[in-house]
Structure 1
C-alpha cells in the first residue's frame, strides 16, 4: 500500500479544514488518508484520571466524526484513524516519517501567528523531513488551479521543484515559478549606469531561473509554466502571489539556527500570511 497522506486532527476548525484538504490530496495521489489524534495520556503527570478519560473520549469522538464526514465525501478513499498517546509534535513527527505528506491546520492571530495547538505546526514545518502543508480554516482555498513556487536559483531546490511540478500537474493547472530579490546597489552617478546595472541583474536572474527549471520542464512537458522575476522583497512578493492560488510551495533548507530548528525568514513570513494552503518542502 502507498504511504499515506497524514493529517493531525484535534477537532478544531483548523484541523477539520486540514482533514478536508488532505482527503482531496490523498485521492489525487491514490493514497490512503490517515487521521491522527495525539492526546497527553499518562505522559502528562498532572492529568487526573477523570480529565484523562474525558480527553480520550473527546479525542475518539473527533476522529469518528471527521472520518464519518470524510467517508461520505470521499467514499473511494481509504481512511484510517489512529489515537496515539503523546505530545502532538513528537507524535506527528514520527508519523511524518511514514507518510508522503503531513497536513496540519494553522491559525492566524494578528501579526504573530501560531499553528496547530500554538507553535506545533511551526515546529513540524521546521523539523519534518516530509513535506508539511499548513491549511487555514479561514483561508482562501481552491481544489484546482494554479500552484506558485518560490525559487532561489542559487540554492539547491530540486526537491522543492519536484513537489511543485507534481502538484501543479495533478491539479491540471499552471505553475508559476517566482524569484524575487531586492534591488541591488548599483555604483555610479549617471542614471544610464544604474539602468544598465539593473537590466543586467534582471537578465542574470532570468537566466538562472530558466536553467534550474529546464530539466523539470522537460519532465513535465505538458504542464504550463510561467517564470516571474521581481525586484521586491521575496516574502512580500510571494504572499501577494498566493492570492487566488490553489497552493503555495516554499522550501526549507537543512540549516539549523539558534537553539533549535527554524524556518527561514521568507518561508516563515509566507507560512504566516499567505491566504492559501502552504507546503513547506525540506530540501535534502
Structure 2
C-alpha cells in the first residue's frame, strides 16, 4: 500500500500553503493525505487537563476545516486528520517516518531576507529519514515548471536524483541539474585571467554531468534533463534558479548521532531563501 503524504497544520498562512501543495502532490501520486497538528507544550504551571482542554477543540476544528477545504478542492482525495500526542519536534519526526513525504510551512519574511524556517522546521528536517518539503506562504507553489536539483558532480546521490526525476515525471516537466563550481578564495584577488581559466573548463564539467545523466535519461525517457555548470556559491545559485522552478531538490547526508541530524550550509541557504518549495532528500 502506498504511504500517505503527511503535512503539519497549525492555522498559519504558511501551513495552509503547505497543505495545499501537499494535496496537489497527493493527487499527482495517487495517494492519500494525512493532516497532523502538534500541540505546543504548555508551561508546567498549567494543569495538564486544563491545557489539553484549551487547545484540543481548536485543533480539531482547524483540522476538520482544512480537510474539508482540501476535499472540496480535490474531490475524491482521501484526507485523514490527527492530533499528535507529543510536542512538535518528536511528534512531527514520528509522523514523518510513517509517511512517504513530510510537508511543512515556512514563515515568509519578504525581500532578500527570504523566509525563516524556524527551529522546529530545521530540527524536523534534519532528523526525518524521509524527504521533507518546505513551502513558503507567498512563494511559487504551482506544480507547473521544471524541477531544479543541486548535485555534487564528484559524489552524486542516487536518492536525490531519483526523487528529482520522479517529481519531474509526475509533473511532465524537465529537470535542471545544477553543479556550482566554487572559485578558490585567491581567484578574487589574483589576475583577471584566473576566473577565466576556471570558466574554460566548464564545458568539460558539463560533459561529465551529461555522462552522469545518461542512465537517468534511460530510466526516465520522457523527462528532459539539462546540465548547468555555474561559477559561484551552490546555495546562492540554487536560490537564484528557484525563481523559475516548480520545486528545488537538495540532498542531506544522513548522520546518525546523539547530537541529532545536521543540515549543511547549501541546504540551509536553499531552505531559507528559495521562492519555490524546497525538498530536502536524505541519503547515505
Per the normalisation by structure 2, the TM-score is 0.89
Task: Name 1:47's counterpart in structure 2.
Answer: 46
- Deviations along 1:196-217, one digit per CA (max 9) or x if unpaired, are 56423x2442233223322111
Contact 2:249 2:281 in 1 (8 A): yes
Unaligned runs of 5+ in 1: none
Residues 54, 176 of structure 1: alpha-carbon distance in 2 compared, 3 angstrom cutoff: same
Shift of 1:256: 6.8
Partners in 1 of 2:24 and 2:109 — Cα distance?
Answer: 27
Shift of 1:259: 4.6
Task: Name 1:96's counterpart in structure 2.
Answer: 96
- Deviations along 1:218-272, one digit per CA (max 9) or x if unpaired, are 1001111111001111111110000031101011112479954221101100110
Alignment of 1:185-264 (within 5 A): 195-196=196-197, 198-200=199-201, 202-255=202-255, 259-264=259-264
Partners in 2 of 1:164 and 1:257 — Cα distance?
Answer: 27
Cα RMSD (Å) of the superposition? 2.4
- Deviations along 1:141-163, one digit per CA (max 9) or x if unpaired, are 22222111011111241000000
**Helix, strand or coil at the partner of 1:163:** helix
**Helix, strand or coil at the partner of 1:81:** strand
Residues 258, 209 of structure 1: alpha-carbon distance in 2 compared, 3 angstrom cutoff: farther
Shift of 1:44: 6.2
Task: Name 1:276's counterpart in structure 2.
Answer: 276
Contact 1:108 1:272 in 2 (8 A): no
Residues 153, 197 of structure 1: alpha-carbon distance in 2 compared, 3 angstrom cutoff: closer
Partners in 1 of 2:80 and 2:99 — Cα distance?
Answer: 13
Unaligned runs of 5+ in 2: none
**Helix, strand or coil at the partner of 2:165:** helix
- Number of residues of Structure 1 aligned to a counterpart in Structure 2: 278
Per the normalisation by structure 1, the TM-score is 0.89
**Helix, strand or coil at the partner of 1:18:** helix
Residues 79, 152 of structure 1: alpha-carbon distance in 2 compared, 3 angstrom cutoff: same
Task: Name 2:160's counterpart in structure 1.
Answer: 160
Partners in 1 of 2:109 and 2:45 — Cα distance?
Answer: 29
Task: Name 1:56's counterpart in structure 2.
Answer: 56
Contact 1:148 1:241 in 2 (8 A): yes
Partners in 2 of 1:269 and 1:235 — Cα distance?
Answer: 5
Shift of 1:64: 0.6
Task: Name 2:70's counterpart in structure 1.
Answer: 70
- Is 1:147 the counterpart of 2:144? The answer is no
